[in-house]
Amino acid sequence: MNQNELYAAITVSSVAVLIAVAALVCAIVASMPRRHLVIIASAVFVVIEIILLLMPLAPLLDGVGFVLAILGVAIAVVGGGPAVVAVLDLATRGSVQDGTHGGIMVAAQPAGRPAGNDADAGPASRERDAGAAASTGAAVSNATAEGARDAGVERDTPGEQGITVRAAEQTRQPVEVLRGGATIGYLERVAVAASLLAGYPEGLAVVVAIKGVGRFTELSEPETRERFIIGTFASLVWACAGAAIALLAR
């Protein structure tokens, strides 16, 4: 290697390392509370790094490929969390409330009623629900009227009764599902990066299958299914991008 080639290799290696470090720093900053949008800058640096490594430039110096591989894996693992949060915020527009244990809050299902979408129920089921609600409402109204007459007090107006019923219906507290999602995401991206670096891309299917089986019982609500699918794909795409840096630098 002559002097010009050496200078070119030093330049390319230095720029590649600096871009990778910038991407990792942005990913770490984005992992802080309410800083997840910084992941956009990290994504830009990741794209630039991949393009740089794909271009037919001077070869990297000895040892730089190993450093870039470590940085690529770190970017894949650390940056996936804020990337998922940013994508989910864009998809749900902030309509899904986060839980305290890394999950999301969804409305609890009424007792004795299976979870699912009301639109999936047939006409007969909806008619039975409507009849039961009407019967219950009539019984409550009659009991309230009789109690009021016996006690010698004035009965509530229909509007006040409606407010009381709605308040009773809202006593169901939301429950947290998909708990531990952040921790599972880190493990998922580590497994994805390791599978790609080991030359075993089929490992991605294994990771998705294990995650789907483990979360199957929690996917009854539309909000849960939406977050699970979008979050999983965003995490996998980010992990593959970070692993691509490591693969191209070898």
b/e sequence 60-70, b meaning 16+ C-beta within 10 Å? bbeebbebbbe
Q: In a 3-state reduction of DSSP, which class is residue 119?
A: helix
Q: In the prediction, which pLDDT does 221 show? A: 74
- Give the model confidence (pLDDT) of 118-159 as tens digits: 444 444 444 544 454 445 444 444 544 444 344 444 444 444
44 CB contacts (<8 Å, ≥6 apart)?
A: none
Percent of the chain exceeding pLDDT 70 equals 66
pLDDT (average), residues 196-225: 86
Q: In the prediction, which pLDDT does 109 show? A: 55
Do the beta carbons of residue 119 and residue 126 sit within 8 Å?
Answer: no
Would you tell me how many other CB atoms lie within 10 Å of the CB of residue 6? 12
| Most confident segment among 110-124, 156-170, 209-223 | 209-223
pLDDT (average), residues 29-54: 94
Picking from 247, 250, 241, the residue whose alpha carbon sits closest to that of residue 47 is 241
Q: In the prediction, which pLDDT does 102 show? A: 59
Percent of the chain exceeding pLDDT 90 equals 46
Q: Is the pLDDT of residue 18 over 80?
A: yes
Q: Is the pLDDT of residue 172 over 60?
A: no
Q: Provide the pLDDT confidence category of residue 94 given band limits of 50, 70 and 90.
A: low
pLDDT (average), residues 219-239: 86
What angle is formed at CA 42 by the lines to CA 37 and CA 48, rounded to 5 degrees? 140
pLDDT (average), residues 160-182: 56
How far apart CA 185 and CA 191 sit, in angstroms, is 10
Q: Is the pLDDT of residue 178 over 50?
A: yes
Mean pLDDT of the chain: 77
Picking from 244, 227, 187, the residue whose alpha carbon sits closest to that of residue 210 is 187
Q: Is the pLDDT of residue 234 over 70?
A: yes
Query: Could you tell me how far CA 201 lies from the centroid of its own chain?
Result: 22
Q: pTM of the predicted model, to two decimals?
A: 0.70
Q: In the prediction, which pLDDT does 152 show? A: 44
Q: Provide the pLDDT confidence category of residue 48 given band limits of 50, 70 and 90.
A: very high
Q: In the prediction, which pLDDT does 188 show? A: 94
Q: Is the pLDDT of residue 88 over 60?
A: yes
pLDDT (average), residues 88-93: 82
| Most confident segment among 54-58, 144-148, 215-219 | 54-58
Q: Is the pLDDT of residue 115 over 60?
A: no
Instruction: Please state whether 233 falls in left (phi above 0), alpha (psi between -120 and 50) or beta.
Output: alpha
Q: In the prediction, which pLDDT does 1 show? A: 65
